[in-house]
Amino acid sequence: MLIIPAIDLKDGKCVRLKQGAMHKATVFSDDPAATAAQWLKLGARRLHIVDLNGAAAGRPKNEPAIKAITEAIGGKLPIQLGGGIRDLDTIEKLLDSGVNYVIVGTAAVKTPGFLAEACTAFPGHVMVALDAKDGKVAVDGWSKMTGHEVLDLARKFQDYGVEAIIYTDIGRDGMLTGVNIEATLALAKQISAPVIASGGINGLDDVKALCKIEPEGVVGAITG
């Protein structure tokens, strides 16, 4: 089970949001690179980065902070990054800069052909984020709900060859109310792609519960 600490970037700083609300950001650090180095020192085996401004704008907006992180820990700790990734050029630049995996969210839902192209062009380096509430997928930094069912999209995207599916219950994200084990397990059981759990993880009890369902294909947990 990969325990993946998350760094959420807003205006170059490390923040935490509650249920994705940008105006409810709590700043934890002004130095993202130092924060990344701390997780490396503590034994993390992968790092999750979200460009929150990028998710809202539709293109990366925290490039200096991302560059500082990759320079600080690049080659020592695999990095997965999402937020505003909407074209192949952006993916190529991020991978060239030291990011190991890119996470496609909104663009995967709105233009699935792009996700298919990305998986073909960069095999093994593309993950997809399915952010859901009550089984329905949200897009545009969680600001808009769609009518798409999580399972339907997950099955489609795994056929494209995504490296993993990151499943987030946005009703729980940033609330420390416990991960949605039931929904995560239900998804993992019905697809073959690896699932990474996210949203609401509150402590070791959540991690232990996720470890119990690891044989079903839940390979990691993102902790914010």
What are the catalytic residues?
8, 131
How many CB atoms are located within 10 Å of the residue 138 CB? Answer: 21
> CB of 73 within 8 A of CB of 67?
no
Closest CA to 200 of 166, 170, 177, 168: 177
- Angle between helix 63-73 and helix 88-97 axes, rounded to 10 deg: 40
Q: What is the C-alpha separation between 121 and 119, in angstroms, rounded?
A: 6
- What does DSSP assign to residue 214? G
Q: What is the C-alpha separation between 78 and 118, in angstroms, rounded?
A: 19
- What does DSSP assign to residue 191? -
Q: Find tokens 């760094």 and name the residue.
A: 7
